[in-house]
Amino acid sequence: MWIRDIAKDIKERRVSGIIWQHEADPLHNKKEDLERAKELLVQALGEEWVTDDPTILIGYSRDQSPFPSHYPHLVVMPDSTEEVAEVYKIANQCKVDVIPMGTGLTTMALHIPMYGGIIMDLRRMDRILEVNGDDLYMVIQPGVNYLAAQVEAQRVKARVLNPSTAATAGVISNHAFCNINTLASKFGFGIDNIIDVTMVLPDGSIMKTGPASYGAVKAQVPGPGPDLSSMFRYAFGTLGTVTEMTLRLYPEQEYIYQIYPAYEKDDLTRVIDVLYAVANENLTLELAHMQNSFFGIFVGSTNKEACAIAKSMPRNNFFTIFSGTTMEEAKLKADLVERLILEMEPEFDFLPPEVMEDLVSDLRSANLDRWQKYFNVTVRVMRVRGSFLIGALIGHLDNFLEVEKRMRESTSNQIGHTDDPLPPDDASTYLQPYHMGRSAYMEYDLYTNQGDKDEVMRTFPAYMRVMMEAMIGEGLVLACGAIPLLKGMPAPLPKGLENADNLMPLLQPNAAVFADVFTEVKKAVDPNNIAARRWDYETGLCKKMSLI
């Protein structure tokens, strides 16, 4: 064979030689309907902002999860609430699914169009419509990301509760999904920041909530009457798309001071006690617990360096930042917390700032002074092996003690050890108190190589096992709306119990009431089931799941 033919030969031998094809759908996304939808969308949004070109579609086919690519049939970029409404109207007319997309960073393939349809990329709507530092709010469109929002907020001496994710993450879509952040102990997260929204419902009608409902002053509190502003949160696009949101801002005091409490022992018992106490004090602006591996990853500029740092750092570390109108105030708060910690547990250490500064001296992205402005480096967790499987749980801090132990045991059993300081079985844990420690978020990251199917196959079952153990064994909940994610999930059970809807009342009656109401609301606002279709109305089943 001629050498030049080898490449051709390999290409022809490949199994996947075509664009990922969606299974023919009897109801939605039919070829002729898609063609008509495209025509109408072009009329509504202009040719530039509607496409079915595979080269564009591929950009929306995957995220960091190990899910295989699923292409949308069309991608559109509306520029206004009215255009979003048009998209929904056309989708209804043509029975084509619509999934709104902010940035697609959910780690769970939530915006990936499992059934195809239209991806509505909202990033053209990227205007900050108003920012008010005195009254602590900002009105934004869904294309506004944390990068722009935080800078704008700080300009007016305020700040947004930025999650530890890519700064380019959309603020509204992050509020649709999580917004876990290191300020959660003091200020809260997600739901706590939504003052009002303008939302396009799946039938194309528009709903304005809160102060926006009658153009009132953005007065921080919900109303009038029932608070509808967070209805989109954990709805995953099933109830429509938010096109404008008033985001609560928080005061930013002038001075910042940081201390580095650390606890050498690999035991969370005392760590949790101390974390409760510090959260109760409510003196920290930012507060989180992080295992050494996290610190290593954030601070090391390569995996090798990360491993070395992780090894040299104490096992448990607190991320504690204090603020004040004077340095005296910030330092006094830090001092009081330091004394409290030592009183409770003399074995806690405080790393000298010079050590930390030294660790990060070569880095741009982990400049300590700037961490409080934007703790952006978490995205590094994906560097370890390409992507990560995230165990995101909510519970009382106390309950995490047992959970963490069991999770670690079962990951080790499932994946096995290596002597790598960041071994695949040793997930990094991080505890994030919420509202002064009343509840907390626990993140448990397993690193896996998205590009290596063997590794995915090894890590994924471990992930599923630890999550099931935590959720069923320990009764913890996912830090995101589990019900829409589980709804319609097929269960390998006898007739009558073949999906999670039927199972739910048996497992958890409380969930069933909520799930019923959710189903009814969904059917009422979206009779054609075009908005982020997750399950079929007729069968109650979903064929594919993006949940991992």
Partner 1 sequence: MKKRITAPREVLHELQADYSICTKCKICQGVHVQFCPDARFWRNCPAGTRYRWDAYYASGKMEIARGLHVNEIEPNERMAHIVYSCMLCSSCQEQCYEVKQLHPTRVFELLREKAVQDGWGPMPEHKKLLEAMEEYDNPWELPKKKRGEWAKGLPLKNLKKEKAETLFFAGCTYAADKELRNAVRSAALCLVEGGMDVGTLGAEELCCGAPALLVGDRDLFETFAFENIEVFNQLGVKTIVAPCSHCAWVFKEEYSREINQEIKVMQISEALYHLVAKEKKLVPEKEVRMKAVFHDPCKLGRRFDLYKQPRAVLEAIPGLELMEFYRATFNSLCCGGGGGVPYAFPDFALWTAKERLFEAEATGAEAIITSCPYCVQMFKKAIGEKKSEMKVYDLAEIVLLSLGKEV
Partner 2 sequence: MIDQGLLKKISEIVGPEHVLKGKNYLSKYFPRLEEEPQLVLVRPQDEFDLSEVMIIASENKVPVYSVRRERMNDDLASKEGLLVDFSRMDQIKEIDRRNLMAHIYAGVSYETLQKKCLEKDCKLLLPAAATSRSVLRSYLDRDILLGSGGYRAPNLSIFHAVLSDGRIWVSGSQQMTSEGIADFREDQGPQFSLFFGASEDIFGLPFYGIVYTYPLREARKVLLFAFDQLEPAKDLAYKVSREEHCFECLTANSRYLSVLCSSSADEAEKMREQLPPWLTVVTLEHRRELVELWERYVRADAENLGGKPLEGELVEVIDRQLQKPWYLFERDYFKGAMQHIFHYDSYKRVPQLFSEVTAAAQAVGYPAEEIGQVIIPVYFGGAGYCESDLYYNPDDSEEAGRVEKLYEQAYRSLLDKKTFVDKPVGKLASMVYGLVDEGFLNMIKLFKRIVDPAGIMNPGQLLEGV
Ligand X SMILES: Cc1cc2nc3c(=O)[nH]c(=O)nc-3n(C[C@H](O)[C@H](O)[C@H](O)COP(=O)(O)OP(=O)(O)OC[C@H]3O[C@@H](n4cnc5c(N)ncnc54)[C@H](O)[C@@H]3O)c2cc1C
- Output 105 or 504, the one with its CB closest to ligand X: 105
**Out of 222, 386, 490, 540, the residue judged to bind partner 1 by CB under 8 A:** 386
Q: How far apart are CA 104 and CA 221, in angstroms?
A: 30
Cα 255 to Cα 170: distance, rounded to the nearest angstrom: 28
189-208 positions binding partner 2, by CB under 8 A: 190-192, 199, 201, 205-208
CA distance 76 to 63: 18
| Binding residue for ligand X, selected from 259, 381, 407, 486, defined by CB under 6 A | 381
349 CB-contact burial (10 Å; exposed 0-12 / middle 13-18 / buried 19+):
middle
> Cβ 180 to partner 2, closest distance in Å?
11
Segment (H or E) for 322: strand 316-324
Residue 378's closest CA among 182, 170, 111? 182
396's contact among ligand X, partner 1, partner 2, none, with CB below 5 to 8 A by partner kind, is partner 2
Is there binding between residue 130 and partner 2 (CB under 8 A)? Answer: no
379 binds ligand X (CB under 6 A): yes
Is residue 229 close enough to count as binding partner 2 by CB under 8 A?
Answer: yes
Residues 159-188 that bind partner 1 (CB under 8 A): 166-169
Q: Using the CB atoms, write b or e for 491-508: b if 16+ within 10 Å.
A: eeeeeeebbbbebbeeee
Of residues 309-368, which lie at the interface with partner 1 (CB under 8 A)? 363-365, 367
Identify which range of 167-175, 265-273, 419-427, 509-517 contacts ligand X by CB under 6 A. 167-175
Measured at the CA of 96, the angle between CA 44 and CA 54, to 5 degrees, comes to 80
Helices of type H across 282-318:
292-299, 303-312
280 within 8 A of 336, measured Cβ to Cβ: no
Minimum distance, C-beta of residue 192 to partner 2, in the bound complex (Å): 7
Sites for ligand X among residues 107-146 (CB under 6 A): 107, 110-111, 122, 142
Q: Which of 374, 441, 463, 518 binds partner 1 (CB under 8 A)?
A: 374
Shortest Cβ 256–partner 2 spacing (Å): 14
CA distance 368 to 355: 11
- Euclidean distance between CA atoms 139 and 108, whole angstroms: 28
Least distance from ligand X to the Cβ atom of residue 20, Å: 19
Q: Which residue has the tokens 């939504």?
A: 194
Terminal-residue alpha carbon distance, the chain: 45
Is 139 one of the binding residues for partner 2 (CB under 8 A)?
no
For residue 336, give Cα distances in angstroms to 182, 287, 313: 20, 15, 24
* String marking each residue 239-258 x if it binds ligand X according to CB under 6 A: --xx----------------
Cα separation, 81 vs 204, in Å, equals 10
How many whole angstroms separate alpha carbon 499 and alpha carbon 535? 10
Residue 110 binds partner 2, judged by CB under 8 A: no
348's CB contacts (< 8 A; 6+ apart) are 261, 262, 263, 274, 341, 342
Residue 207 forms beta bridges with which residues? 199
Query: Closer CB to partner 1, residue 4 or residue 495?
Result: 4
Single-letter code of the amino acid located at 439 = S
Binding pattern for the stretch 35-74 against ligand X, x by CB under 6 A and - elsewhere: -----------------------------x----------
> 425, 389 in Cβ contact below 8 A?
no
Nearer to partner 1, 274 or 377 (CB): 377
Q: How far apart are CA 131 and CA 541, in angstroms?
A: 44
Is the Cβ of residue 38 or residue 248 nearer to partner 2 in the bound state? 248
In the list 251, 352, 416, 451, the residue contacting partner 2 (rule: CB under 8 A) is: 251
User: Per-residue contact track with partner 1, 44 to 73, x per CB under 8 A?
Assistant: -------x-xxxx-xxxxxxx----x----
Task: List residues binding partner 1 (CB under 8 A).
Answer: 11, 14, 16-20, 51, 53-56, 58-64, 69, 75, 77, 103-105, 121, 123-124, 128, 145-152, 155, 166-169, 301-303, 363-365, 367, 370, 373-374, 376-377, 379-380, 382-383, 386-387, 449-451
Task: List residues binding ligand X (CB under 6 A).
Answer: 64, 99-107, 110-111, 122, 142, 163-165, 169-170, 172-174, 176-180, 232, 236-237, 241-242, 378-379, 381-382, 532
